[in-house]
Amino acid sequence: MTKEWIALFFTAILTGNFVLARFLGICPFLGVSKKVNTAVGMSVAVIFVMALATAVCYPLNVLLENNDLAYLQTIVFILVIAALVQFVEIALKRFLKPLYQALGIYLPLITTNCAVLGVVLLNADNGYDFVSSMVNSVGAGVGFLLAMVIFAGVRSRLEDSDIPKAFEGLPATLVAASIVSLSFLGFGGIVERIFG
């Protein structure tokens, strides 16, 4: 079973990366990735919310399915995620004020970050047990962190580059994001060969 969990973890980080392969969580990916420290702070908050949301939503999902209320999954999951984000926001405001101010509007956007909802829904849809769900969630969060940090590094290099006028701003950012995304395709097959 450990081999499957390791494969699931690395798949969530590399080949099934929620940002670069599934295109979930693009708003904070583009909005908070200008500086590495802000990208790391946002990613740690997302990892925490993903893991906690999975831990809370898994038993709720079992309860919903046992009572033939599975159609309420999305609503219940969104409410849980919103409550957890409020908790994280209050904690950051109290204990890490500079990070809270640096994240700004993007911190409440974790509530609507489709990567967080996506990981919880995919765990339920794939029928993962509790441990597999947690492994997938933490892997997805680490993949989010990896994508954010790599892209923050790329964006910092873009600021020092001589970019043609037509590509300044958002076009250069989107081209750089697509190249970073393509680089993760190189990991395809590696996880399957090692753990498959």
pLDDT band at 72 (very low <50, low <70, confident <90, very high): very high
Helix (H, G, I), strand (E, B) or coil at 187: coil
Mean of the pLDDT values across residues 180-195?
A: 74
Helix/strand/coil percentages in the chain, nearest 5: 80, 0, 20
Identity of the residue numbered 29:
F
* Residue 114 phi, psi (nearest 5): -70, -15
> What value does the CA radius of gyration of the chain take, rounded to a whole number of Å?
18
For 23-50, how does the pLDDT look when each residue is reduced to its tens digit (9 = 90+)? 888 877 887 778 888 888 888 888 888 9
For 109-151, how does the pLDDT look when each residue is reduced to its tens digit (9 = 90+)? 776 678 889 999 999 999 999 999 999 999 999 999 999 999 9
Q: What pLDDT, on the 0 to 100 scale, is given for residue 191?
A: 63
Per residue, what are the HEC states of 56-100?
HHHHHHHHHHHCCCHHHHHHHHHHHHHHHHHHHHHHHHHHCHHHH
Distance between CA atoms of 147 and 143, rounded to whole angstroms?
6
pLDDT band at 195 (very low <50, low <70, confident <90, very high): low
CB contact at 8 A, 170 and 192: no
HSE-CB for 153 with a 13 A CA cutoff: 6
pLDDT above 90 (res 169): no
Q: Which residue has the higher pLDDT, 104 or 53?
A: 53
Q: Is 163 left (phi over 0), alpha (psi -120 to 50) or beta?
A: beta
Q: What pLDDT, on the 0 to 100 scale, is given for residue 112?
A: 67
pTM: 0.86
Q: What pLDDT, on the 0 to 100 scale, is given for residue 84?
A: 86
Q: b/e map of 142-161 (b: 16 or more CB within 10 Å)?
A: bbbbbbbbbbbebbeebeee
Q: What pLDDT, on the 0 to 100 scale, is given for residue 86?
A: 87
